[in-house]
């Protein structure tokens, strides 16, 4: 397929509706949207979230616009981040590298990443970090071909699920256990009952 001429520019609030249309062309339920599927995929919710993201000073959203038209065919979100906890290394964190299905394999992703490289240079950052779903084999292969190496694997679990797996009591049971423990300590011989402050004392 022939290469596509695109120009890259920062997204503005006027682009929200077009970005919603782009996202609806992509199967976000597969988790490639940002490593997980969005909770709600209707147009109104996506428009609200995108509008909020565009207002954030910490995040930059770059879009690819096809030459000769106003059609948005790809997007990339980036923010300055830090890698590591002890030996901290600043980096440009790239997420949501998305290209319309009809415009893939035509250089749109490369153009967006090239713009991200320029953004990193402007911010004095010499490392780039990309977040991609572990289940997205195509995205992982694409980034690997460009030199992105695996660093860590993030795993996520609901706290309720982990609590159950660890055999911990749920929230209401935990409060009841703590209360029983406090009452038990207060009733032990030789232990003074907790003092209650009185007005005027």
The DSSP line for 150-188 is P--------HHHHHHHTT---HHHHHHHHHHHHHHHHHS
- What pTM does this model have? 0.74
- Give every strand in the sheet of 89-99, ordered side by side: 6-10, 59-66, 72-83, 89-99, 128-130
**Cα 160 → chain centroid:** 21
Host domain of residue 164 = 157-192
What CATH number is attached to the domain comprising 28?
3.40.630.30
pLDDT digits (tens, 9 = 90+) for 32-80: 445 455 555 678 888 998 999 999 888 999 999 998 888 999 999 999 9
- How far is the C-alpha of 134 from the C-alpha of 148, rounded, in Å? 14
Domain co-membership, 57 together with 119: yes
The residue among 161, 136, 131 whose CA lies nearest residue 148 is 131
Domain co-membership, 163 together with 141: no
Beta bridge partners of 95: 77
pLDDT digits (tens, 9 = 90+) for 154-176: 888 898 899 899 988 766 666 66
Residue 197 lies in a domain: no
Domain co-membership, 164 together with 113: no
């Amino acid at each position: 397929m022939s290469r596509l001429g695109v120009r890259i520019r920062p997204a503005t609030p006027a682009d929200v509706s077009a970005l919603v249309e782009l996202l609806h062309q992509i199967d976000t339920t597969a988790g490639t949207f940002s490593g997980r599927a969005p909770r709600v995929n209707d147009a109104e919710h996506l428009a609200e979230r995108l509008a909020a993201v565009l207002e954030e000073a910490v995040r930059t959203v770059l879009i690819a616009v096809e030459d000769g038209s106003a059609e948005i065919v790809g997007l990339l979100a980036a923010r300055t981040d830090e890698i590591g906890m002890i030996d901290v290394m600043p980096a440009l964190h790239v997420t949501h590298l998305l290209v319309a299905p009809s415009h893939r394999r035509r250089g749109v992703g490369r153009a967006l990443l090239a713009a991200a490289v320029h953004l990193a240079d402007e911010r004095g950052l010499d490392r780039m970090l990309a977040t991609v779903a572990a289940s997205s084999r195509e995205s992982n292969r694409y980034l690997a071909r460009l030199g992105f190496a695996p660093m860590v694997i993030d795993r996520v679990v609901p706290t309720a699920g982990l609590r159950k797996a660890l055999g911990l009591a749920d929230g209401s049971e935990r409060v009841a256990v703590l209360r029983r423990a406090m009452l038990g300590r207060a009733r032990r011989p030789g232990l003074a009952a907790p003092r209650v402050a009185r007005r005027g004392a």
